[in-house]
Amino acid sequence: MTLVTTPDAGAALGPALDLVADRPLVVLTGAGLSTDSGIPDYRGPGSVPRTPMTWAEFVATPEARRHYWARSHVGWSRMGAAEPNAGHRALAALDPELLITQNVDGLHEAAGTRRVVALHGRVSQVICLACATVMSRAAVQRMLEAANPGWAEAHADVATRPDGDVELAETADFTVPGCPLCDGPIKPHVVFFGENVPKNRVERCYAAVDALPEADGVLLVVGTSLSVMSGLRFVKRATRQGTPVVLVNRGATRGDDLATVRLDAGCSEFLTALAALRAGQTERTKMWSADS
C-alpha cells in the first residue's frame, strides 16, 4: 500500500493519479461524503460515538418504534433539506460504471449520477412490515405531523444524528400512525444494523467489480471507514482478483491494508480535483482529434 497524506488533494494526488486518471471506475461511497452537506457520520474525525437502533430492537416492541419515529420525525426536515455537495456533483460528472453507496440520503441521485446502487436503501421511502406497501417518506411525514402537531417545532434545537434522526430521550408522548392501508407497523425502507442487504443489490455490485479487471479499471472507495462488511466485501473482492483499490478517507479504515493507494484527504477536495483532471483530459483529446 502507498499512503499519501495531504490536506489538499488537488496539490498532491501522487500515485493515485496513475490509477484513477483515465481508467474505468466503480465507486464505493460512505457517510464521509455527505458530511459537507450537513449530515453527520458515525465514525469520522470529530464525530460523537452513537449507537444506531438495530433491526432486532425496531421490530421487538411498539415502544422502540415510537422512539425511532419520534426522533426521525424531527430529523427528517434536516436530512430532507440537505443538498448535494461538490463531491456528489463531481461523482456525477465522473459518471462511473457503477456507484455503490452505503448512504441512505439520496444525494447521489439528486446530483445526477446515472448508475447508483443504494446498498442500504433510501430514507425517502417507508415500508409497511405487515402488507409490504411502499410509500413516500413525505406522505408519512404528513401523517406524523397530523398525529403530533407541534412536535417538530418543540424539539427544533436538538442535535442531529446520522441517518436522519436526532438526539432525543423522552418520546413517550409521541404517536406513530399505522399503515394507511392495513394499520400495520411502518419502517423506513432502509437496511438497519443487523438486517441483511437484499441479495440482488449485492450481486449487481459484485458483477460491476468483477468486470473491472478486463477493462483495466479501479475500485475507488471514498468517505467510508469500511467498519461493516456491507462495503468491505467489495474491497476484498477487488483485491482477490487483482483490481487496484484507491481508498480516500479522513482517518483509518478496515481496508487500509488492502488498498493499492490510500489517501488521507477530504472527499470533496479529492473528487473535485479528479473530475477537473478528467475533464481536462477529455478536452485535450477533443482538440487532438480535431487537429488530426
Catalytic site residues? 120
* 205 is an annotated ligand-binding site residue: no
Q: Using alpha carbons only, how large is the chain's radius of gyration in Å? A: 21
Q: Which of 227, 268, 226 is nearest to 7 (CA)?
A: 268
Q: Are 161 and 167 in contact (CB under 8 A)?
A: yes
Q: Which helix (H) or strand (E) holds 264?
A: strand 261-264
* 267 is an annotated ligand-binding site residue: no
Q: Which helix (H) or strand (E) holds 16?
A: helix 15-20
Is 8 strand, coil or helix? coil
Rounded distance between C-alpha atoms, residue 269 and residue 256, angstroms: 20
Q: Are 178 and 186 in contact (CB under 8 A)?
A: yes
* 128 is an annotated ligand-binding site residue: yes
What does the chain come to in residues?
Answer: 292
Q: Are 99 and 108 in contact (CB under 8 A)?
A: yes
Q: Which helix (H) or strand (E) holds 111?
A: helix 107-111
Place of cell 481508498: 247
Q: Which residues are annotated as a binding site?
A: 128, 131, 179, 182
Q: Which residues are annotated as a binding site for Zn(2+)?
A: 128, 131, 179, 182
